[in-house]
Structure 1
């Protein structure tokens, strides 16, 4: 997701950033960062690309997509619930793994694992979780 004016900055404590996120929480998914994207833009860009990847890899059992946290939250909500109402419900730790099953017949996704950091050494995982609690509370 393009954060526009907040791209590459420490936006976690910036009032303007939180103002936009608050609007998203109230269902205003068309609100965007100045010079950046809104959740609807991410869905319009991300879902068709994921669908294309799924079709191109139809013979494969597993597909890996590497993305960033906010993109993940938006796409997970859209894929699992068909809307953006749940995007704020998903935690996405740094380097987390999400696993979804995709039923090609019904074209539906099912949650298997969300936000797993079991691949990280315990000390690193613990530090990351403590840092996120400090930043996002």
Structure 2
């Protein structure tokens, strides 16, 4: 008689996936809201003379949040300390994501707004996923 359950040493990935998807959705709405609030406050969303549409913030947040979830699933499967590896990696990637904002051909307030959206997304997604990874 064969068993179809996962070994006891590996927990199901479903809670991690669900948490990651929910966090991606929440972060997408949050970054779009931050961008819209900045726009309403008079902060330009133009980079290199082209406006970034508010829905673009949500779309890119969702894409990169899902990439973070994929990293977490890989770390869960292939590393001994997935939470630690995930947090260190995503914090470093978040810091790196600020570099293009600093270098962007945009007003200082626009650069700051872009950086805030990255930090808002990271503050939502990283803890939500990390909590569901084994220490």
TM range (shorter): 0.3 to 0.5
Q: Looking at CA atoms only, which structure, 1 or 2, has the larger radius of gyration?
A: 2
Q: Which structure features the higher share of strand residues?
A: 1
How high is the TM-score relative to the length of structure 1?
0.33
